[in-house]
Amino acid sequence: MSKRWYAIHTLSGSEEKAVLGLKQRMEMHNLADRFGRVLVPSEVVVDPKTKRKQTRRFFPGYILVEMELDNETYHLVKNTPKITGFVGGLRNPPPVPEAEVEKITRLLSDEEEPRPVVDFELGEEVRLTEGRYASMRGTIDEINETRGKLRVIINMFGRPVPTELSFHQVEKLS
């Protein structure tokens, strides 16, 4: 039997504890060979206000488990603390399509450094906090989430000056 991916519903905020409990039960019942990877789809982001790293989950309350589904593995997962059950069916849950799992694992593998949380909008007025034009005000002209950059138009001597900045170099005006 081949291993397939299944979505598991957990208590929200307890995904890591559910994964730990599941791994302990797999070892205790000698079923680790029927399981593959266990993923908590999440990313590390930097809050622009506090500059702290935070873990943001893509699907709060859910984990992905690669496993061979049979009676033993089904009951092992179902009876794990912090896990409420499988997604999609009471007795015979459908596997998650392989294309969906590839998208999620691709998002997880892109993690080199924490990404800032984007809460800016086009046309919004911001204050620059770092760099050559610190403490000046400008208007957001372009947002590039993949690079973590903003293009801000600063009005200097009556002329618009476009400046490219990182998300952490600007702050919203209240």
| pTM recorded for the entire structure | 0.63
Domain-by-domain residue ranges, the chain?
4-116, 125-172
pLDDT in tens, 36-81: 999 988 877 777 667 777 777 888 899 999 999 999 999 999 999 9
CB 22 within 8 A of CB 36: no
Look at the domain 4-116 and name its fold. Alpha-Beta Plaits (3.30.70)
Pick the CATH number of 125-172 from 2.30.30.30, 3.30.2310.20, 3.30.980.10, 2.70.98.10: 2.30.30.30
pLDDT of residue 54: 77
**Euclidean distance between CA atoms 40 and 48, whole angstroms:** 24
